[in-house]
Amino acid sequence: QVHLVESGGGSVQAGGSLRLSCAASGDTGRIGLLAWFRQVPGKEREAVAGAYSRSGNTYYAYSVKGRFTISQDKAKNTVYLQMSGLKPEDTAIYYCAARTENGVRWYDPRAVNYWGQGIQVTVSS
C-alpha cells in the first residue's frame, strides 16, 4: 500500500508560480511512476506531468510544457510540481498519482494504483 499526501496549493494571480509537493509513504519501493493529474468539475481528470522512478524520464501535457516542471527527491520519497506562468485555465484540483508498473501511457488515469486526496489550485486573472 502507498499513501500520498499533497501540499502547496492555493490561490495566485495569472503569471504567478506555485510549487506542489506530494509525499509518498508506505511501500514506496513498488512505485514505478509518479504523476500529477488535475480535474475541474464536469470534466475528466487529465494528466499534467509524469516521472518514471527508475529511468528519471519525465513527460508533460502539451498545455503545460515549458511552464511546469516535475521533479523527484527519492531520499524524501517526494515528487514536486513547479508551476510557473500560471493561467486561469490551470485552475483545478490537482492530484498526485502513483503507479506500480513502468508501462507506457503515463497519462492514463486508469493505470493509476494510488491517488492523493487532491489539492486546490486557483489562478485569477
Q: How far is CA 60 from the centre of its chain?
A: 10
DSSP character at residue 82: E
- Show the beta-strand stretches assigned E in 27-67: 33-39, 46-52, 58-60
- Per-residue pLDDT reduced to its tens digit, 82-124: 999 999 999 999 999 999 987 789 999 999 999 999 999 999 9
Backbone angles phi, psi at 89, to 5 degrees: -70, -5
Q: What is the pLDDT of residue 45?
A: 97
Average pLDDT over residues 25-38: 95
- Per-residue pLDDT reduced to its tens digit, 83-94: 999 999 999 999
From residue 27, how far is each of 1, 4, 31 by CA, in Å? 6, 11, 8
Length of the chain: 125
Question: Does 24 score more than 90 pLDDT?
Answer: yes
